């Protein structure tokens, strides 16, 4: 029985933090350990984590730890607070196990995120990645400034930064992935990070599933040449299956994204070899899906839609399945 699926998507989304807080004290004190990973001085007790977009301000990390995550990605964090895009911003389709959103980086801004991260225990139970973006009124020409501001404010609190220029829900954002802009943009972001005194925080790039393979390969190669530490594959998609109930704008995740997400995972792994961290996300809805992504070359796996359809117990369900194998 999954009573939250009887609620409207927006209402279920709005009450989810309260439900998570109420349920957390009844969870195990131990984070499940399966296939632990050490990378860049970080220890992941297991390979399954929370995708960006769930905990936008980093206010529920301790509650998510109670549910057994191996790592968390919070955000997208922007320098200044901003609300969601106007109108309907989310929906779901139970038949196709698909989720749709056009939120557009709503959040309380970097100052609130910084305080939330400062409130975490000094010894964190898992790594915490911070997904950063630009405010919607910031032009692409000035985008580096917003990403640099987030990194400067959060360095030392983020275990890794995730550069998000692949969301389809901020007008014009994906133009930064175009060849004429991408190298200058990402080079500027990495240069800004390197100017932060004593910073050793790794940086990951979140990629779009909608890029053509040859364009995606070019993006990955340029990013590697510039010194990126890894990739998150993928963001939501603008593609629609035949008969999709969703409008053309906004991003779709869940089962319709699975095939393309796996293709992108394999392409990035073939392009980069074993030397870059790859996090696979998109259409991961079962423990078998998690196992498959790891076999295809992912170092880590994330979920979002699975939490909508299965609930937060998904992390411990996967842990039991992986431990049995």
Q: Which has the closest alpha carbon to 223: 187, 181, 262, 275?
A: 187
Provide DSSP, 231-249: EEE---B----TT--S-SS
**Out of 96, 139, 166, 167, which one is annotated catalytic?**
167
Residue labelled with tokens 């992935």? 177
Provide DSSP, 164-233: E---TTSTTGGGGGSHHHHHHHHHHHHHHHHTSTT----EEEEE-TTS-HHHHHHHHHHHHHHT--EEEE
Q: Which has the closest alpha carbon to 169: 56, 69, 14?
A: 56
Whether 167 is a known active-site residue: answer yes
Residue 72 and residue 312 in contact, taking contact as beta carbons nearer than 8 Å: no
Q: Cβ-count burial of 69 within 10 angstroms (0-12 exposed, 13-18 middle, 19+ buried)?
A: buried
**Integer Cα distance of 114 and 128 in angstroms:** 13
The residues assigned a catalytic role are: 167
């Amino acid at each position: 029985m999954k009573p939250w699926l009887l609620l409207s998507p927006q209402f279920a989304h709005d009450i989810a933090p309260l439900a998570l807080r109420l349920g957390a004290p009844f969870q195990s004190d131990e984070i499940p350990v399966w296939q632990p990973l050490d990378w860049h001085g970080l220890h992941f007790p297991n390979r399954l984590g929370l995708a960006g977009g769930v905990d936008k301000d980093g206010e529920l990390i301790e509650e998510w730890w109670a549910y057994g995550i191996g790592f968390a990605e919070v955000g997208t964090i922007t320098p200044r607070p901003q609300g969601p895009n106007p109108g309907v911003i989310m929906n779901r389709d139970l038949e196709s196990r698909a989720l749709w959103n056009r939120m557009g980086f709503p959040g309380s801004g970097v100052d609130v995120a910084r305080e939330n991260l400062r409130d975490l225990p000094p010894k964190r139970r898992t790594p915490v990645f911070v997904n950063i973006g630009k405010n919607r009124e910031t032009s692409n020409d000035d985008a580096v400034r917003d990403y640099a501001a987030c990194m400067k404010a959060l360095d030392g609190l983020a275990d890794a930064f995730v550069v998000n220029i692949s969301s389809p829900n901020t007008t014009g954002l994906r133009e930064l992935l175009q060849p004429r802009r991408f190298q200058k943009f990402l080079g500027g972001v990495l240069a800004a990070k390197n100017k932060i005194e004593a910073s050793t925080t790794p940086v990951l790039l979140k990629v779009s599933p909608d890029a053509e393979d040859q364009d995606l390969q070019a993006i990955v190669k340029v990013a590697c040449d510039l010194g990126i530490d890894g990739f998150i594959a993928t963001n939501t998609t603008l593609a629609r299956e035949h008969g999709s109930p969703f409008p053309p704008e906004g991003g779709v995740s869940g089962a319709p994204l699975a095939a393309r997400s796996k293709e992108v995972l394999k392409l990035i792994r073939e392009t980069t070899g074993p030397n870059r961290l790859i996090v696979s996300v998109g259409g991961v809805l079962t423990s078998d899906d998690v196992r498959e992504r790891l076999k295809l070359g992912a170092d880590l796996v994330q979920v979002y839609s699975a939490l909508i359809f299965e609930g937060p117990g998904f992390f411990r369900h996967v842990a039991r399945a992986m431990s049995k194998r």
